[in-house]
Each structure stands twice: as structure tokens, then as C-alpha cells.
Amino acid sequence: MRVVVTGAAGFIGSNLVLGLNKLGIDDVIAVDDLTDGPKFRNLLGAQISDYFDKSEFYARFARAEFGKVHAILHQGACSNTMEHDGRFMLANNYRCSKDLLGAAQAQGTRLLYASSAATYGGSASFREEPEFEQPLNVYGYSKLLFDNIVRRMLPMATAQVVGFRYFNVYGPREQHKGRMASVAFHHFQQLRETGKVRLFGDHGGYGPGQQSRDFVFVDDVVAVNLWFLQHPDRSGIFNLGSGRAQPFNDVALAMVNADRARAGDAPLTLAEMVAAGLVEYVPFPDALVGKYQCFTEADLSRLRGAGCNHSFADVASGVRSYEEWLAR
């Protein structure tokens, strides 16, 4: 099986390449932009058959220059939710994806792509239905725009098309993302640099650190992608989260206690961590007011209805595993 992974040197893309390898798939064409050269480290140990810069790949694929490509796992995108250049975002996330979809359908190539929970924005419900889609930024809008194109063409599709609305993904190989890396990654770095972790204080009707997200471990994201790869008859747009909202306090609790366990220290409660200065709450930044999701929780009804019964890690187990990887 020949599989293309776009964004292959990125966070989710590199984990997908390694997941494909574990299935015995090594005819993997990696596509990315390595202007940020150190990202190559994410692909160390991965088996790929070729690499192409994104500036070259899309036009060549449209001309069917790669022979039979069975599937494309399309992760390439600008995922910076603070990017305000709408022209860039729509060209990168929408137009590129739309052209790729057309070329894939023309060649009978299956397309599994990254959407985002940012499509829901200010909604209080997280079901894959238009009435709940209220993006708060142009990133979320770019993803929603492409999802809507997929919805329009699905009845006429000649090959599988699957969109995954990723919730808050965390795990190995996200270090290059800078400020857009997960809160778990930042907590690990903060512990190393300052001996404490920082969380937002009161905001949006939530107490300190009580803003809640659906945190999903990257291994689970890979597992669901590969499940659909192995079930080519299933198409649609699906939430990909754990199905449970947990407060940011839970991430801090898990990371600090994983760090303490490594040092041979006993676990602490959250209250004990706050009293000891290991957890600190900071004022909510003005720049995020009106642009921040205080609560997300994936409705997994559609995913389960498709037959995917994958069991997702909770924050305690996922963060513990991640901390072990970071501390190697």
C-alpha cells in the first residue's frame, strides 16, 4: 500500500508515519515544508519511500505523477489559532485541501484529513452538525469551509473521504510548535525551568484552572486514523477526542505528580500543590478574550456509530506516558 502523509514532519503527521510503519506499511511518501529544519528529528527512525516539499508535491500529485496512491493522510495545515492573516490561512488550509480533494477523487485515492474542534468555536455543544459550528477565529473558519466542501461532495464520492475534528491533542513530537504546543508540553518545560506550572485564573464563569477541554493523547489520534484506513467503506466527518472534558487543573496535577514520581517523591493533591507553590494561577490574558474556548467535549456518537470503539486514555494515564517520553 502506498500512502502519502502531508505535514509528515509535524506533530500528528510524524506519529502517523510511525504508526503506518508499525502496521508494516513503509511505502510512505512524506510531504512537508522543512524551512524549520530541526523538525526532521520527528522522522528519525521512520521508514519512508520518498520525501517532497509541499511546494512541489501538490502539483505533481494533481498530474498523477506518483503512480497508484492508495490513501493520503492530509495533516498539512497552518494550525496557529492566533494567525490573523486570513488570505494565508484560506490559501493554506482551504484552497490547498480543496484542490487535493479534487485530485484524489479523480485518481480514486482515499483522503483522510485533519479538521479541528475549532470549527465549534463558541458553541456549547460539540456535534458534527452545522447548528453547532461557530468558529471564533479564521483558523476554525478555514477548517469549517473545507468540511462543508466535503459534505457537499460526499454523496458523489468515488473514494473514501474522512475528516477528523481533532480536539486538544498532546503527546510526543510536538516540541517544534512553540506557543501552540499543548499545555502538557508547556507544563513539563515550566517545571524544568521554574519548578512550577502556570494556569489561567478565573475566566468565563470558571474558577482558577477549571476551564475544561477534551484532551486527547496523540497515540489515540493515530489509532483512530489507522482504524479508518483499515475500513475504507466508512466516510464522513467525525469528532476525534476522548469524549470527556477535564479541567486544566487535571493536566497540571498529572504532570507534577509524574515529575515527582520520577524523583521518588509521593504524589500530592492539587490543593497541596497550590499551597507549595508548584501550581500558580495567572490572570487571563486580554488578547484571548472572546477568542478562547473555555469548554470542549467531543460527542462521539457518530464515531461510535461508524463502528470505531477505540478506548481513549484519560489525562492521568496519557500525561504520565508523555512525561516519561519527554524525560528520556
Query: Would you list the DSSP string of 175-220?
Result: GGGGGGS-HHHHHHHHHHHHSSEEEE-SBTTB-TT--EE-EEEHHH
Catalytic sites, residue numbers: 139, 177
Residue 52 main-chain phi, psi, to 5 deg:
-135, 140
Strands 246-247 and 215-217: unpaired
Question: Rounded to whole angstroms, how far apart are CA atoms 267 and 276?
Answer: 13
Question: Rounded to whole angstroms, how far apart are CA atoms 26 and 196?
Answer: 42
Question: Rounded to whole angstroms, how far apart are CA atoms 203 and 296?
Answer: 15
308 DSSP 8-state letter: -
165 DSSP 8-state letter: E
User: In this structure, what C-alpha cell is assigned to residue 212?
Assistant: 475544561
Question: Rounded to whole angstroms, how far apart are CA atoms 187 and 130?
Answer: 35
Q: CA distances (Å), 215 to each of 180, 190, 203, 245, in order?
A: 14, 19, 19, 7
